[in-house]
Amino acid sequence: MRRSKTHYLPDSVGFYSANNSESLASDLCQSIGEILIEEIRKKGHASIAVSGGSTPIPLFNELSLLNINWTKVDLTLADERWVDPKSADSNELLVRTHLIKNKASKVNFIPLKNDSKTVQDGQKNSEELLKNITLPFDVVVLGMGPDGHTASLFPCSEELSDAMDLNNPNMLVLTYPKTAPYQRICLTAKVIADSKNIFLHLNGSSKLHTLESAMKYKDSSKMPIYAFLENGLSIYWSP
């Protein structure tokens, strides 16, 4: 794993690269595993929030094989679409398929989608469930879209200012992106930013161009990922 960093990223950002997505997933899995093991050793439990999409699938499969005490790990999602958990567009389904299996089958998973009739009630119920997780999160794994959105923090969303408000007392926020389908529930920027270890998992050269644009604009209302680049995180990238 290489640690050379592109020139436009701030000093607060760590940058790690691998030759391909499989090697990258293995390296990131190892880093996450070390953190979870250490947190379990220190305080008896650990917590992790992960994102959806196709990029983390190899990582999820690797994590499922980690030889740690998964009964001591709380797992949730950075964001979720308000869809049936059996829908192909559900992040919960993705996680249940690729992560919650093998040695990780005993993890304590707290989904964001529930049986509430409305997404507004769903947010309230999920907030209550997430209170069982001790904050800050030990690990949050993010992805990023070409518009600079991360999780469900979209620049086109009218709820973005509330979602990005570091004084927002809530753990979750509702977003209604105009450029993507479905109502969504998402961790607030404060909850993400306060996490002990934030990883941005990326594949492809186009993602580097998006990062460069974010650093050029320096405006989280235009490209929400900038808020976390400025705050500090670790980028794991492969071509």
| pLDDT tens-digit series, residues 91-150 | 999 999 999 999 999 999 999 999 999 999 999 999 999 999 999 999 999 999 999 999
Domain that holds residue 176: 14-238
Q: Which residues on adjacent β-strands are paired with residue 110?
A: 76
User: What confidence tier does 3 reach under pLDDT thresholds 50, 70, 90?
Assistant: low
Is 7 part of a structural domain of the chain? no
Please give the structure tokens belonging to residue 104: 């990780």
Is 132 part of a structural domain of the chain? yes
Is 231 part of a structural domain of the chain? yes
Is 9 part of a structural domain of the chain? no
Is 50 part of a structural domain of the chain? yes
Is 5 part of a structural domain of the chain? no
29-69 pLDDT, tens digit each: 999 999 999 999 999 999 999 999 999 999 999 999 999 99
Domain containing 138 — which CATH number?
3.40.50.1360
Is 1 part of a structural domain of the chain? no
Is 2 part of a structural domain of the chain? no
Instruction: Tell me the residue length of the chain.
Output: 239
Using a 10 angstrom Cβ sphere, with 0-12 exposed, 13-18 middle and 19 or more buried, the burial of residue 35 is: middle
**Domains in the chain, number:** 1
Residues whose CB is less than 8 angstroms from the CB of residue 218 and which lie 6 or more positions away in sequence, other chains included = 226, 230
**pTM attached to this predicted model:** 0.97
Q: How many whole angstroms separate alpha carbon 29 and alpha carbon 68?
A: 12
